[in-house]
């Protein structure tokens, strides 16, 4: 922790030195400082997992207990994730934020404070320091989301939505910790709060309030409405940090409830988390599958991934209450594997999306294409991230979802009807989301990187600079390492949870001890390589027997070569899915036909547009916002500028006070 404080002080010095420097120099200095801060935070988390006990106490002038930062092994695991993501994102920002609002001293200061606040949340040992760090995280991330509000009109709205939901989350947490603190006779340390019985009235109320607060920060349905707005609005390295690290503190909070503060609670708590997680996973992947904005697609994919994490935490809570503690431990390990794999893949995916935006100025998939030729590093990074998001071997996403399915399949508690219903339904939802995710990322990669460019921006694209390429390769490498060697990561997760349910094999695979489930990624890799060699060899033989000939394309009706207008778009690729899930997606279509002047039977132009809505946004939040606006208008009627009316208010208020006093 002393090293972390020293790194923070060095960062402050770097930011002060960079304040008056040119934008490029400022980005290099500030980025290097944040990289050091992130790596130091990860080192502190690693030492905590290794058994070191560290504590920093910060006295304040407020009438509150001092701030205490002393991470436990679970917090140390999240510090590793946050620190590494922050370091990679900051390194990427050195090349990405060389000019414009993202390169301003204010934004780099906010970025550094956000990384520090995320680490402080994971290191907090009491409710006061946790809430202080949480609010610092909310304020700095709001500033980063609104960084480009003068350049793009939608950014201002996104910033307002994000700020409102961030402080709604803080309100739920404040109420939940207030209930726990009252039940603990005013104590605020996590060790004292953990003494409150989880099945007491105070424990159950606190669990519900805190779970809602953490769910809002994690982007769980229906409190997810900020996420598809904020991620596209923020600069890309900020989007990577928010998706890969910031939403994880919401998952950390839920695990803090399930593992440390209120473990072993009533079964309704696990069922609530499973329902929220399953709804988020399914709704998020459906919205991602029909999105044509690349960053919006990745944002909804984050909702899906976080939903699976909350589903795993809920399954662990339910299984613990049913007495199946070993299988519950496997579900918790699967949750942390999902955290690590999602952090790696979403860092790579958002950084690759930022590279595309930096090179083309486009986020619309329907205006991209052919980037695999001009941006090979970006294409490789996004491709590896897409494989992991679709849970395909041998990536971290496959390992994590395989572990989750093992826990759900083996979660059989004889005589418990709730478990008997919940586990098969959860398995079906995980399988469905995985299938739709595969389709989603086939669409995203195929439309963006393959075929022919659909605009001159895509045709003139160029690869990113060396700092951006290095950051993308590091993220892609982490995805592959977790997939090939999941044993060390799972062992670290088991250490963070103080359980022995997982053992790494000699080649870095996984062996779950309760039911002897074995995963050998190296064997899967060798099998995949053998199949690939066979397919390539067969294709070479076939190509030799049937030489390639130049012919008119049937797809072009014999009229010539293929043009970009004849290719599938992201919208047309997802059309079958929008018809199947029409009620959930709430899409609206508009077809405008322009006829030729000479004849009503000849068409000169057809214009098609489709909009996919968010049912929670349109049916829940927008009516709520409208109601608040009407209340505000009533307030304007009360304050109309009339001095006579104001004197009347004062007189009525005085009479009420005298009446109550009497």
pLDDT tens for residues 217-264? 999 988 888 988 898 888 889 999 999 999 999 999 999 999 989 888
Domain ranges in the chain?
Answer: 1-169+221-248, 337-580, 582-613, 617-661
What value does the mean pLDDT take over residues 119-147?
A: 92
User: For the ranges 12-21, 125-134, 321-330, 436-445, which has the lowest average pLDDT?
Assistant: 12-21
For residues 391 and 434, the answer to whether their CB atoms sit within 8 Å is yes
Distances (CA, A) of 458 to 8, 152, 221, 357, 566: 41, 21, 34, 10, 16
What is the spatial distance between Cα 584 and Cα 111, in angstroms, rounded to a whole number? 36
Find tokens 């004889």 and name the residue: 414
What is the spatial distance between Cα 6 and Cα 104, in angstroms, rounded to a whole number? 24
Collapsing DSSP to helix, strand or coil, 364 comes out as strand
Residues in Cβ contact with 262 at an 8 Å cutoff, skipping those fewer than 6 apart: 194, 196, 198, 203, 206, 207, 269
Other CB atoms within 10 A of residue 21 CB:
14
Find tokens 């999306």 and name the residue: 353
pLDDT interval class at 1 (50, 70, 90): low
Q: What is the pLDDT of residue 555?
A: 62
79-88, 220-229, 324-333, 443-452: range with highest mean pLDDT = 79-88
Q: What is the pLDDT of residue 29?
A: 82
What value does the mean pLDDT take over residues 103-123?
A: 89
Total count of residues recorded for the chain: 662
Q: What is the pLDDT of residue 153?
A: 76
Other CB atoms within 10 A of residue 613 CB:
13
Q: What is the pLDDT of residue 554?
A: 64
Residue of 327, 168, 165, 335 whose CA lies nearest to 248: 335
For residues 206 and 174, the answer to whether their CB atoms sit within 8 Å is no
Percent of the chain whose pLDDT exceeds 70: 94
- Model confidence at 14: pLDDT above 80: no
Distances (CA, A) of 13 to 16, 18, 107, 250, 635: 5, 8, 16, 31, 47
pLDDT interval class at 313 (50, 70, 90): very high
For residues 386 and 349, the answer to whether their CB atoms sit within 8 Å is yes
Q: What is the pLDDT of residue 600?
A: 73
Collapsing DSSP to helix, strand or coil, 511 comes out as strand
For residues 425 and 278, the answer to whether their CB atoms sit within 8 Å is yes
What value does the mean pLDDT take over residues 625-642?
A: 82
Find tokens 């669409």 and name the residue: 443
pLDDT interval class at 132 (50, 70, 90): very high
172-215 tens-digit pLDDT: 999 999 999 999 988 888 989 989 888 889 989 999 999 999 99
**pLDDT, the chain, mean:** 87
- Model confidence at 518: pLDDT above 90: no
Residues in Cβ contact with 264 at an 8 Å cutoff, skipping those fewer than 6 apart: 198, 320, 321
- Model confidence at 506: pLDDT above 60: no
For residues 55 and 1, the answer to whether their CB atoms sit within 8 Å is yes
Q: What is the pLDDT of residue 269?
A: 92
What is the spatial distance between Cα 364 and Cα 294, in angstroms, rounded to a whole number? 6
């Amino acid at each position: 922790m002393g090293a972390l404080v020293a790194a923070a002080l060095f960062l402050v010095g770097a930011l002060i030195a960079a304040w008056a420097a040119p934008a490029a120099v400022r980005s290099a200095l500030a980025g290097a400082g944040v990289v050091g801060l992130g790596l130091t935070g990860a080192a502190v988390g690693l030492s905590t997992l290794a058994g070191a006990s560290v504590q920093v106490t910060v006295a304040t002038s407020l009438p509150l207990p001092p701030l205490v930062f002393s991470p436990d092994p679970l917090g140390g695991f999240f510090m590793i994730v946050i620190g590494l993501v922050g370091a990679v994102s900051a390194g990427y920002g050195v090349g990405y934020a060389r000019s414009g609002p993202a390169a301003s001293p204010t934004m780099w200061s906010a970025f550094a404070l956000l990384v520090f606040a995320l680490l402080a949340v994971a290191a907090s040992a009491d409710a006061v320091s946790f809430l202080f760090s949480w609010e610092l995280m909310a304020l700095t991330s709001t500033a980063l989301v609104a960084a480009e509000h003068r350049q793009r009109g939608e950014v201002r709205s996104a910033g307002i939505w994000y700020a409102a939901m961030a402080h709604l989350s803080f309100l739920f947490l404040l109420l939940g910790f207030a209930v726990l603190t009252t039940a603990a006779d005013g104590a605020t340390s996590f060790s004292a709060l953990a003494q409150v019985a989880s099945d007491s009235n105070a424990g159950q109320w606190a669990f519900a309030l805190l779970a809602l607060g953490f769910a809002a920060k994690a982007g769980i349905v229906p409190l997810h409405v900020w996420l598809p707005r904020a991620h596209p609005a923020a600069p890309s390295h900020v989007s990577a940090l928010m998706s890969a690290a910031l939403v994880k503190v919401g998952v950390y909070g839920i695990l803090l409830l399930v593992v440390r503060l209120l473990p072993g609670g009533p079964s309704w708590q696990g069922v609530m988390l499973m329902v929220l997680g399953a709804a988020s996973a399914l709704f998020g992947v459906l919205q991602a599958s029909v999105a044509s904005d690349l960053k919006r697609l990745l944002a909804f994919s984050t909702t899906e991934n976080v939903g699976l994490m909350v589903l795993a935490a809920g399954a662990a809570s339910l299984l613990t209450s049913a007495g199946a503690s070993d299988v519950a431990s496997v579900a918790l390990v699967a949750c942390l594997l999902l955290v690590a794999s999602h952090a790696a893949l979403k860092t790579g995916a958002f950084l690759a999306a930022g590279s595309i935006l930096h090179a083309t100025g486009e986020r619309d998939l329907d205006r991209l294409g052919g980037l695999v030729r001009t941006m090979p590093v970006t294409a490789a990074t996004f491709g590896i991230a897409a494989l992991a998001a679709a849970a395909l071997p041998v990536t971290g996403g496959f390992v994590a979802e395989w572990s989750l399915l093992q826990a759900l399949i083996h979660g059989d508690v004889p005589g418990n009807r709730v478990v008997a219903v919940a586990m098969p339904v959860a398995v079906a939802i995980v399988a469905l989301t995985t299938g739709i995710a595969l389709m989603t990322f086939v669409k995203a990669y195929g439309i963006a990187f393959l075929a022919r460019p659909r605009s001159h921006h895509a045709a003139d694209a160029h690869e990113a600079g060396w700092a951006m390429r290095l950051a993308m390769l590091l993220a892609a490498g982490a995805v592959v390492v977790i997939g090939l060697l999941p044993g060390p990561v799972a062992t670290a997760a088991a250490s963070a949870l103080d359980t022995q349910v997982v053992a790494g094999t000699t080649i870095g695979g996984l062996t779950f001890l309760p039911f002897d489930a074995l995963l050998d990624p190296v064997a899967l890799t060798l099998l995949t390589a053998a199949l690939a060699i066979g397919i390539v060899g067969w294709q070479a033989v076939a190509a030799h027997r049937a030489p390639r000939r130049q012919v008119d394309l049937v797809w072009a009706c014999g009229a010539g070569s293929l043009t970009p207008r004849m290719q599938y778009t992201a919208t047309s690729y997802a059309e079958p899915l929008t018809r199947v899930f029409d009620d959930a997606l709430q899409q609206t279509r508009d077809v405008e036909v322009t006829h030729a002047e000479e004849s009503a039977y000849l068409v000169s132009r057809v214009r098609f547009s489709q909009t996919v809505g968010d049912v929670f946004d349109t049916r829940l939040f927008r009516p709520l916002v409208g109601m608040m606006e009407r209340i505000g208008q009533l307030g304007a009627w009360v304050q109309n500028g009339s001095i006579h009316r104001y004197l009347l208010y004062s007189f009525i208020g005085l009479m009420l006070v005298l009446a109550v006093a009497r």
